[in-house]
Amino acid sequence: MDIAKADTALVVIDPQNDVLSETGVSWPLVGDSVRENNTVENLDRLFRAAKRSGYGVFVSPHYLYPHDQGWRFGGPAEQGMLGGREFFRPDPLGPAGPGADWLARYKPYIEDGETVVAGPHKAWGPQTNDLVFQLRKRKLGKVVLAGMLANLCVESHLRELVEQGFEVAVVTDATAGPRHPTLGDGYKAALVNYGFIANAVLTTEEAVAAMR
C-alpha cells in the first residue's frame, strides 16, 4: 500500500477520555492494553506526523445522547456503554461531557480548524455517520486507521471502509482493546482479523515514516 498525502487520510477513531484517560469509564477494561501499546503517545505521533506533512486528518467520534438511552436491545458492549454513560453528551448541540471530550493533548490537532470531525457513529462502524462521504468528497481513497477500540470500532471501521472500496492500513500499536474476564482479550482478537482484512498492518514507527 502506497501512502501519499494526495490520496491518503489519517482516520482516528474515538480519541476521547472515556477510553484513553485513567479517569475514563472504560479504563478498568482497557487501561492495561493502552499502557502496553503506548497508545496515547502513538496516537499523538500519528497526529503530529500527519499535520506536519499535510495529510488530511479525520476523526470518527462516538457520542451517546440522552435519547439513546431509549434503545431497547444491544450486545454486551453496547449495553455497557449505555449503562456506564460512556461518550455521553447531555445535549447533541451542547458541549461534550468530560468522558466524551477529546483527550486534552489531542485538542490542538483536532480543533485547529482543518481536521474533519465526522458525525458520531452509534454502534461500532461508520455506517451511521458521514465519514465515508467526507473522504469521498475529497477524493481520498486510502486510509491510515488508528484509535479505539481495537476489536470494536477500529475493526468495524476497517471492514466497512474495505467494503466501500478504500485501501486501509491499520496501525496496531495506536489502538488498544478491552480485557474481560469471560469475553476475553479484544486486542488479541483484533490483531488476527487485521492480518486477514487490512491492506497493510503497520506499527506507529512505520506509519510515521510512510507519511514523511
Q: Which amino acid is at 181?
A: P
How far apart (Å, rounded) are the C-alpha atoms in residues 171 and 75?
26
1 located within any domain: no
| Residue 204, domain extent | 8-210
Q: Does the pLDDT value for residue 205 go beyond 90?
A: yes
Phi, then psi, of 57 in degrees rounded to 5: -120, 130
Extract the C-alpha cell encoding 144: 491510515
Write down the pLDDT at residue 114.
98
For 63-120, write each residue's pLDDT tens digit.
Answer: 888 888 888 898 888 888 878 888 888 888 888 989 999 999 999 999 999 999 999 9
Look at residue 88 in the predicted model and tell me its pLDDT.
Answer: 87
The pLDDT value recorded for residue 197 is 98
Cβ atoms of residues 139 and 3 within 8 Å: no
Alpha carbons 16 and 110: distance in angstroms, whole number: 11
Q: Compute CA 209 distance to the chain's CA centroid, rounded to the nearest angstrom.
A: 21
Q: Identify the H or E element spanning 124.
A: none
Which positions ≥6 away from 53 have C-beta within 8 Å?
A: 5, 211, 212
Q: Is residue 141 part of a domain?
A: yes
Domain count, the chain: 1
Q: Which residues of 89-101 are buried (b: 16+ CB within 10 A; e: fewer)?
A: beeeeeebbebbb
What pLDDT does residue 33 have? 98
3-state secondary structure of 141: coil
pLDDT of residue 195: 98
pLDDT of residue 143: 98
Q: Is residue 194 part of a domain?
A: yes
Instruction: Quickly list DSSP for 12-42.
Output: EE--BHHHHSTTSTTHHHHHHHHHHHTHHHH
Say which CATH number the domain at 18 has. Answer: 3.40.50.850
Three-state helix/strand/coil letters over 155-194: HHHHHHHHHCCCEEEEECCCCCCCEECCCEEHHHHHHHHH
CB atoms within 10 A of CB 44: 18
The number of beta carbons lying within 10 Å of the beta carbon of residue 185 is: 16
Cis peptide before 43 (omega within 30 of 0): no
- Residue 3 placed within a domain: no
All three cell numbers of 8, joined, read 491518503
φ and ψ at residue 100, rounded to 5 degrees: -85, -15
- Entry pTM: 0.94
Give the pLDDT confidence of 11-65 residue by residue, as tens digits.
999 999 999 999 999 999 999 999 999 999 999 999 999 999 999 999 999 988 8
